[in-house]
Structure 1
């Protein structure tokens, strides 16, 4: 069996590269980081033909081989650096046939690196709708590399692509025999000297070493010294050479386009996507439609998830009651039912909502509408000193702040990137969803406004919009302190509208559910067990007098009487209050009571700093430990609805519920986010600023909301 080969997928953004990656690898994929940088590394394995397996590396999209952002530098390093672990044996360039001229610039640069190349032309259907016909055989002759038409979304052309990969692996296709342009003539003395210092490089690769010598880490000290001397000797002007190179490439591309591309409709009739954009990007109706889409998204989270959530919640309640009745009454049963099982139920009930949220977001991305959201909000971004490129990290923050903050690396302006990093965690991420859902179901009535608008869905949408507008407001304030002198521009290519790939939607839903269960679930269960211990035990100086007191009182009444039951409930409640968890909760209660929070919520505020989802697991554990075993059939919502202050007032009123949701909307309750901010900014200063300002903002806003509604 032949050893696996490395295949790199490269191409312009929105060219169909990710679709081809999914078509080749299926579910055999993983996401990690490229060594040394916080840039996503998507890799997967593909069975090309029997006996030939390939490692597929999906490199970040780029328009040119001259990098500007961290993403583009990763692609550049993989293609230029001979020591890179991912150096490809073969490159597949995914090119958009409907924008062939622009895509051919990048194709020509890759071809001149003298690595075996296959060009996969996507969007051929769009090109035909534009009245563009491409002579594939002629294009192949002109470029000197194989060209194949593919539609990875429908798996068309993928089998033919695999045949060509197999032939390339057998040596039937090698690097292009001739340069796309005469690279050696651009700076011949320089490239000749560099090829002596760094053997094995093509003329074009040598030219890139001359341009970027200071940034190339694979060069050793003697090589850098020799290259520096060469550049000084020949007075190398990299700006002039780059400009000359691009001009020559476009002149050659112009010739290729004339001989291989026929435009049967020079006016290029307006495509369906452009007609739809006239409405969806309208200066007024575009924003109205955006709000409607957002409302439908959040309303669907309640509507579609209500039935499976009820089944899961009821099932865990029945299971807890049954296990309590059949298992022996000892500490092992107690920790299993009130620790482990309560923790699992705390996050399992929200799996349907997590899956639905990510499924709907994937549909918006697949159809091309998510990019339009970025375009619509660009004007607002510019008003607060940001750029349209800040929109995508903010939108990504709805899923999770960690990858969203990593996505800011595409923002070239360092100060704009810093402000975006600092405000992104204000976006309501999926970790807040369980808290929102639980509190909305607890304090917001399920009724309709005007007969069609669900109040709970409106509140959910309001929380997400609140996070967005607060991020914009804080960005405007930071603009006054972080002076931005550089001028930046937002240029974005809008993808065509397409039907969602339902297989991709389903795969994403399953994968996100797995991540939620394995990552958040493990943390929640571990903290639930620790909490069970802290809530079940306490200092002997407090617990022993409590046991003695209630033993005498319970012994004085009949075992099956209502009085005995009342005493047992009072004993469990006081035991929880005197436990280690209770002592901790009561210690912080004076600080949080003005917000409408009791000591149990205080404990949850502390534990959920590990991960916001832990809030629900914490409440499940605390209310299980403090309850009579006969009450284990009750759901968490029922237990929380019955919670009372010592004076008999309900804990979870409308004011307290809104206060808690506002607190979690703005508070920095996530260690992972602080860690990634430290990694991205290379300092603890920024995460500490973030922690302080978000906590203060959450406290003040929560205090105001509670006092308004109480």
Structure 2
């Protein structure tokens, strides 16, 4: 069977999906749009059923692209994703609003089951729901009380959905004239009058099935007291800043030893390949190209995992909604609103879904500004670049209880936020619009995260990072190795022949290093690097960094893989020098000074903080705006900003 999962945002729909499917799920896009399509498979008695997690919506009348996707699927029996059955997740603590969507789905004429979720929250609110009477007034619809966070009632829910066909309501909720989806009308005024009539009937229905018992020390009152502090116009911002500080300190402190272990393992793997396999092109490709390239991906899994874990916890506990609320008044002077906060904060993970999230912004001017500035937020792809450079040039010192490296990382993220706000302020005066906007949102009750959901979410994010970024880095590592190992004609051989031969055994290691360096400089990639070096020398960069700047345009995190490949060409892995140590030992051939200093390192961090080094993001901007000029403007202004800011940083610090 094909089962559609439908529900309001914050109804616990994702928890139900994860409980029913576990890790047996995949993420893609609905055909023709950038809306996420999550499909899972639940197996019961050796039969596999497909569960489609449709985007969270409040009504079948679409206002956003997410709602348009659900509308198109459920109204068209010929659609490829049209379900055999529908499972609607309903928040028991907010029945009136949730029943609007449920009654609309019920009137489609598809077998439907209600998963009455958050019954524990409803109980703490003193709400008593007569599920049997509710089922009767809804025409015999099956209702299964559950607590998705703990898994309570999920087995019963699965049995009800899979085994016995859920009944179709004997008559439509609003009467026979709106039978089987005929209520899905196009006229806006008629839609409004349908909605109003539904709410009127829902309120009448609730007087029979819902009772409020007196509750001392109501959970709602307790949460409101917490909100007075967390949404305070002063303390709210301080708490949020403190949360960010804790996150970035933890990313460095907790990820250090697993990253060192991974680095050592890949270094040992390169050394083993070099020693165990016969000398030749294939051995060099494995030891100097493929293994270091893969290591450049895997080494950052601990930090990526920690970052997404913290974001998940902030969302699951309900704190992220408070952040949106308190930042709304802060964002408006910059031409944004509270809904812009979700894409901007999501941009800390990845700009691609963040830009897709701007579809919830009704005002076109605010949506366009949000799209144009979101890539300035420091995404997880920048994290590998930041951490490599911070480990390379920032001293391991403490300022009071805070590690200096963690403070620098926090500063880079704040710089991205400040740049995004300033760019939005400039855009506010350029983009003209008379349309007004406002923020209406729900602050969900605070709750403990469901840890099995955390595991599933982290597995999905890490898998996407490793395989999506990994494919790009792996491919570019091989191409880089080829371009760095070969040159035009006999150019490499002629350049190497000019190096004086060693006369003693002690001179051999220095001679071999000189040979590797000269061979790399005269390879295809070395020629390209030297060609662009004059343009980037004022920033404190050498031609090797120039190569990484070019290759990382495909994706920012490719910078690390490129560095790993470049500094592995001709390397003796038995010396057990890590990538950071090899980069730290790199010196300027003209001055003899280290290439990677505090000035050049911070300049490079600032460049990556602002530069548009992501082809995928540009493609999404084109798809969302449907106009080539916006990604072009984005590429030009972000690259120009990155160059000027990096130039100023290097010149001031050097």
Verify same fold: TM over 0.5: yes
Q: Quick one: which of 600, 605, 626 aligns to 2:549?
A: 605
> Secondary structure at 1:520's aligned position in 2?
helix
Residue 539 of structure 1: CA displacement?
2.1
1:519 aligns with 2:519: no
Q: Quick one: which of 157, 161, 172 aligns to 2:157?
A: 161
Cα 1:103/1:666, change in 2 over 3 Å: same
Cα 1:318/1:46, change in 2 over 3 Å: closer
Q: Aligned equivalents of 1:321 and 1:31: distance in 2?
A: 38
Q: Which residue of 2 aligns with 1:118?
A: 113
> Secondary structure at 1:540's aligned position in 2?
coil
Q: Deviations over 1:552-592 (max 9, x none)?
A: x32x724x2x2333333222211211111111111101111
Q: Deviations over 1:516-569 (max 9, x none)?
A: 22221222122112111211211235324224323xx32x724x2x23333332
Q: Which residue of 1 aligns with 2:351?
A: 401
Q: Is 1:320–1:633's contact at 8 Å kept on the other side of the alignment?
A: no
Q: Which range moved further: 275-284 or 418-427? A: 275-284
Q: Aligned equivalents of 1:324 and 1:654: distance in 2?
A: 34
Q: Which range moved further: 476-485 or 658-667? A: 476-485
Could you say what the CA RMSD is over the residues aligned between the two structures, in angstroms? 1.8
TM-score by length of 2: 0.96
Q: Which residue of 2 aligns with 1:141?
A: 136
Q: Quick one: which of 628, 631, 639 aligns to 1:687?
A: 631
1:557 aligns with 2:519: no
Q: Deviations over 1:378-409 (max 9, x none)?
A: 11221111121111111111111111111112
Q: Quick one: which of 447, 452, 456 aligns to 2:397?
A: 447
TM-score by length of 1: 0.89
Q: Aligned equivalents of 2:161 and 2:488: distance in 1?
A: 69
Cα 1:164/1:321, change in 2 over 3 Å: closer
Q: Deviations over 1:469-514 (max 9, x none)?
A: 2111101111111112111111111222111122222222233222
Q: Quick one: which of 601, 613, 625 aligns to 1:657?
A: 601
> Secondary structure at 2:336's aligned position in 1?
coil
Q: Hey, which bits of structure 1, 4+ residues long, moved more than 4 A?
A: none
Q: Aligned equivalents of 2:299 and 2:85: distance in 1?
A: 46
Q: Which residue of 1 aligns with 2:173?
A: 180
Q: Which residue of 2 aligns with 1:529?
A: 478
1:507 aligns with 2:507: no
Residue 240 of structure 1: CA displacement?
4.4
Q: Aligned equivalents of 2:180 and 2:162: distance in 1?
A: 27
Q: Which residue of 2 aligns with 1:634?
A: 577
Q: Is 1:130–1:271's contact at 8 Å kept on the other side of the alignment?
A: no
1:166-565 mapped onto 2 (5 Å cutoff)? 166-169=162-165, 173-182=166-175, 184=177, 203=179, 205-208=181-184, 211-212=185-186, 238-265=187-214, 269=218, 270-450=220-400, 452-540=401-489, 542-550=491-499, 553-554=500-501, 557-558=503-504, 560=505, 562-565=506-509
> Secondary structure at 1:390's aligned position in 2?
helix
Q: Aligned equivalents of 1:347 and 1:179: distance in 2?
A: 55
Q: Quick one: which of 549, 556, 569 aligns to 1:625?
A: 569
> Secondary structure at 1:344's aligned position in 2?
helix
> Secondary structure at 1:153's aligned position in 2?
coil
Q: Is 1:668–1:694's contact at 8 Å kept on the other side of the alignment?
A: yes
> Secondary structure at 1:93's aligned position in 2?
strand
Q: Which residue of 1 aligns with 2:19?
A: 23
Q: Is 1:135–1:261's contact at 8 Å kept on the other side of the alignment?
A: yes
Q: Deviations over 1:96-132 (max 9, x none)?
A: 1111111122222222222222111112222222221
Q: Aligned equivalents of 2:568 and 2:318: distance in 1?
A: 46
Q: Is 1:317–1:632's contact at 8 Å kept on the other side of the alignment?
A: no
Q: Aligned equivalents of 1:45 and 1:73: distance in 2?
A: 24
Q: Quick one: which of 41, 45, 50 aligns to 1:45?
A: 41
Q: Which residue of 2 aligns with 1:644?
A: 587
> Secondary structure at 1:625's aligned position in 2?
coil
Between the two proteins, the alignment pairs up a number of residues equal to: 651
1:8 aligns with 2:4: yes
Q: Is 2:269–2:291's contact at 8 Å kept on the other side of the alignment?
A: no
Q: Quick one: which of 146, 149, 152 aligns to 2:148?
A: 152
Residue 167 of structure 1: CA displacement?
4.5
Q: Quick one: which of 57, 78, 84 aligns to 1:62?
A: 57
Residue 316 of structure 1: CA displacement?
2.3
Q: Aligned equivalents of 2:84 and 2:265: distance in 1?
A: 53
Q: Aligned equivalents of 1:241 and 1:579: distance in 2?
A: 70
Q: Which residue of 2 aligns with 1:198?
A: none
Q: Aligned equivalents of 1:95 and 1:87: distance in 2?
A: 21
Q: Aligned equivalents of 1:609 and 1:577: distance in 2?
A: 22
Cα 1:266/1:344, change in 2 over 3 Å: closer
Cα 1:324/1:167, change in 2 over 3 Å: closer
Q: Is 2:346–2:353's contact at 8 Å kept on the other side of the alignment?
A: yes
Q: Which range moved further: 314-323 or 616-625? A: 314-323
Cα 1:305/1:239, change in 2 over 3 Å: closer
Residue 41 of structure 1: CA displacement?
1.0
Cα 1:57/1:14, change in 2 over 3 Å: same
Cα 1:287/1:324, change in 2 over 3 Å: same
Cα 1:39/1:442, change in 2 over 3 Å: same
Q: Aligned equivalents of 2:111 and 2:279: distance in 1?
A: 70
Q: Aligned equivalents of 1:321 and 1:364: distance in 2?
A: 42
